[in-house]
């Protein structure tokens, strides 16, 4: 029984981390989207800063989660995602000097690659962690949206940060769903040891 209690406790701790992590990702993305629409659409300097911050934050977040789960070597998809996001940050800085079409193109490539890596991470975690189906949907949608961004970037219209913000908004929703799903799962896990202890 003690082994079961220990296993349940470990599951609860891991699930709590993911719940907090997903909630943090949702909150940051939500704040970013609000800033993009409220300020970024009117002040180009703020838009540029936000466009740089988004992939940089994604890189840091992936590294943080990978580190919690045993480091980069044990979480290669997240480590690679962090590298992709870091390179994207540099690419966005260069693209900003060219124009918003170039920026949207960079975001399109990034959305596709990071989406596929997010999907791979969720599939890998499917058996060990809960609430991975929203992450799978999010990764798949991100990859598809990336293709649409690339198509739009090649068009004659000049995009703005408002064309990228919905992508971040959908990501925030998926993270929030995962956090809520885990909150329910965590409540069930917390009650399981008590039930076993009474037997």
The predicted structure's pLDDT at residue 189? 65
Q: What secondary structure does DSSP assign to the chain, as a single string?
A: -HHHHHHHHHHHHHHHHHHHHHHHHHHHHHHHHHHIIIIITT-HHHHHHHHHHHHHHHHHHHHHHHHHTT-TTT-HHHHHHHHHHHHHHHHHHHHHTT-HHHHHHHHHHHHHHHHHHHHHHHHHHTTTSS--HHHHHHHHHHHHHHHHHHHHHTSSSPP-GGGTHHHHHHHHHHHHHHHHHHHHHHHHHHHHHHHHHH-
pLDDT over 70 at 159, yes or no: yes
Given a cut of 50, is residue 124 above it in pLDDT?
A: yes
Q: Quote the pLDDT of residue 17.
A: 86
| Band (9; pLDDT cuts 50, 70, 90) | low
Reply yes or no on whether the pLDDT at 1 is more than 60: no
Is the pLDDT at 125 greater than 90? The verdict is no
Q: What is the mean pLDDT of the chain?
A: 88
């Amino acid at each position: 029984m003690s082994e079961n209690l220990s296993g349940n406790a470990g599951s609860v701790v891991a699930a709590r981390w993911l719940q907090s992590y997903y909630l943090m990702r949702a909150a940051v993305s939500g704040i970013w989207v609000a800033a993009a629409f409220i300020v970024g659409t009117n002040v180009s300097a703020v838009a540029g800063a936000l466009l740089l911050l988004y992939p940089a934050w994604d890189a840091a977040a992936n590294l943080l989660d990978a580190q919690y789960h045993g480091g980069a070597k044990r979480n290669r998809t997240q480590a690679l995602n962090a590298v992709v996001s870091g390179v994207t940050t540099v690419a966005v800085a260069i693209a900003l000097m060219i124009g918003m079409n170039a920026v949207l193109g960079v975001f399109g490539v990034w959305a596709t690659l990071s989406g596929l890596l997010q999907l791979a991470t969720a599939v890998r975690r499917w058996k060990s962690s809960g609430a991975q189906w929203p992450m799978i949907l999010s990764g798949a949608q991100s990859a598809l949206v990336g293709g649409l961004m690339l198509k739009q970037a090649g068009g004659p219209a000049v995009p703005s940060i408002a064309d990228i913000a919905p992508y971040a908004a959908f990501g925030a929703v998926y993270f929030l769903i995962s956090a809520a799903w885990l909150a329910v799962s965590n409540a069930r896990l917390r009650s399981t040891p008590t039930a076993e202890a009474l037997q």
